Amino acid sequence: MNPDTSAPYLTAQEYPFCPGCGHGLILNALGHALGKLQLRPEQVAVVTDIGCVGLSDAHLKVHTFHGLHGRSVAYAGGLKLARPDLHVIVLMGDGGTGIGAGHILAAARRNSGITVLVFNNFNFGMTGGEHSVTTFSGARTVTTPLGNPEVPFDIAGTVALNGASFVARKPSTDLDLFDVIAQAIATPGFALMDIWELCTAYFVPANQFTGKLFHDYAARAGLQMGIIKEARRPTFEAHAQQLIARSEPPQPPRGLAVRFPEVTRDSGSSGLTRRTGLLVAGSAGGKVRSAVGLIAQAAMMSGLHVNQKDDYPVTIKTGHSVSTLVLDPQPMRFGMVTVPEMVVILAPEGLHHIRAQLAQLPASTRVYADASLNLPATNAAVTLLDTAGLRRAVGKENIALALAAKALIASGALPVEALTAAIELTLNPAYQAKALAAVALGCEL
């Protein structure tokens, strides 16, 4: 089929689809629907999915975006959210509908103001005629040669039950198809049309299928034809605009000024003159990452370059929590150290996670460990610390900060003034006092 050039939204370029394919009918109907609504081309954005339908972009004189398989509705939702003034239309096949069903349902539930036209020919027409989620029970395809054992996915009925504002199912051969497409596009909320069509390359010859059987198949599957739902409720974009109107203006990014540059001077016995690594090994809930993050801020305020790497299990609330902090007076192209100069061990979970590494540490590494832990043999210089009094004074959630601060401040790598400033700048006033006390008491251990 050739493009209907009486519709100004279509190019004169010949369609690339197979003879008898319904894609051309739907595109022609879309062109007339846009004309009926008298939309300017720059007011329309069409998002296409993978498959034969994805070839439609070159035939439309509107904004077009070609996405990944099944993801077109997600792209369209983001586009509509960013540009609510646009009429955003998704063109996708039944293959993409199955792959992207989660995105479609999410858009229907939030009532995103987009229109989805499903070019439904009951199989994957581009890749060889495999069955799709909409293939009828008993239908033959290359992947169901003895007949499809599954019931077809009722995409129209599903979105109707999940919040869509307009839902319809129509054959591509209906003369009023463009009227219903125009009605879908004009709907403020989520609209979906399940448009049945012919795949003359695969589905038609495999099943002796013709357009006259559309209504017979629908009746056999218990699927309603015509307009299934018309409703009105607030759109997701309207809700977002209300939130934006009520929200405070965004604050500019807060930078960390260098306030303690003396730490980077080559002063012989103090200051950081080379790359230094700190490893803190504790347990989940022990505020290991938070403590190392505060120290990282203090280091940046001292003019140092910083890299923090955190290691914890997917369970998050159980198991180990290990953070590695790399400090360098020079810019870092690769922010890692093979052997940390300082190691802090707070809990059995952290010790278990780094046990093999601990056994290989050289004598130049300084280890600060809770005295209750049973450390393996190591060449590192070990200092065991009794933290019981510290826990009573500032709570177990501040032990990581106290011992990490002791390790860095004792080494001369970080001034206590910088860490104090980072705590006062970052923490809620309700937590500052204990954090500052933890630093002071930790350094006295």
CATH of the domain at 325: 3.40.920.10
Whether residue 189 is found in the same domain as residue 272: no
Contact 213, 65 (CB under 8 A): no
Separation CA 302–CA 199 (nearest Å): 68
Q: Is the pLDDT of residue 262 over 80?
A: no
- The string of DSSP letters for 150-178 reads SPPP-HHHHHHHTT-SEEEEEETT-TTHH
Whether residue 172 is found in the same domain as residue 271: no
pLDDT in tens, 199-233: 999 999 999 999 999 999 999 999 999 999 999 99
The total of structural domains in the chain comes to: 2
Residue 39: CA count within 13 A, CB half-sphere: 23
Contact 419, 295 (CB under 8 A): yes
The DSSP H or E segment spanning 37 is: helix 23-37
Q: Is the pLDDT of residue 268 over 70?
A: no
Tokens found for residue 236: 């997701």
Residue 5: its pLDDT value, please?
A: 74
Residue 270: its pLDDT value, please?
A: 40
Whether residue 302 is found in the same domain as residue 182: no
Whether residue 238 is found in the same domain as residue 270: no
Q: Is residue 144 part of a domain?
A: yes
Q: Is residue 61 part of a domain?
A: yes
Percent share of the chain, pLDDT over 90:
87
Q: Is the pLDDT of residue 120 over 50?
A: yes
More confident residue, 317 or 219: 219
Q: Is the pLDDT of residue 288 over 70?
A: yes
Whether residue 421 is found in the same domain as residue 317: yes
Whether residue 192 is found in the same domain as residue 308: no
Residue 43: CA count within 13 A, CB half-sphere: 10
Query: pTM of the full predicted structure?
Result: 0.73
Whether residue 81 is found in the same domain as residue 224: yes
Residue 263: its pLDDT value, please?
A: 54
Count CB atoms within 10 A of the CB of residue 234: 11
Q: Where a domain ends, among 210, 243, 276? A: 243
Q: Is residue 146 part of a domain?
A: yes
Q: Minimum mean pLDDT among 238-242, 264-268, 389-393: which range?
A: 264-268
Residue 266: its pLDDT value, please?
A: 44
The DSSP H or E segment spanning 438 is: helix 429-444
Q: Is residue 5 part of a domain?
A: no
Task: Output DSSP code: residue 251.
Answer: P
Average pLDDT in the 121-148 region?
Answer: 96
Whether residue 215 is found in the same domain as residue 293: no
Residue 327: its pLDDT value, please?
A: 95
pLDDT in tens, 58-74: 999 999 999 999 999 99
For the domain that residue 56 is a member of, what is the CATH number?
A: 3.40.50.970
374 burial via Cβ count (<10 Å: 0-12, 13-18, 19+): exposed
The DSSP H or E segment spanning 422 is: helix 416-426
Domain containing residue 395: 266-444
Whether residue 212 is found in the same domain as residue 320: no
Q: Is residue 51 part of a domain?
A: yes
Whether residue 299 is found in the same domain as residue 381: yes
Whether residue 119 is found in the same domain as residue 210: yes
Separation CA 421–CA 439 (nearest Å): 12
Q: 379: pLDDT confidence band, cut at 50, 70 and 90? A: very high
pLDDT in tens, 26-42: 999 999 999 999 999 99
Average pLDDT in the 138-157 region?
Answer: 97
- The string of DSSP letters for 48-60 reads E-SSGGGGGGGGB
Q: Is residue 4 part of a domain?
A: no
Q: Is residue 12 part of a domain?
A: no
Q: Is residue 381 part of a domain?
A: yes
Q: 269: pLDDT confidence band, cut at 50, 70 and 90? A: very low
Whether residue 225 is found in the same domain as residue 352: no
251 burial via Cβ count (<10 Å: 0-12, 13-18, 19+): exposed
- Integer-rounded Cα radius of gyration of the chain: 32
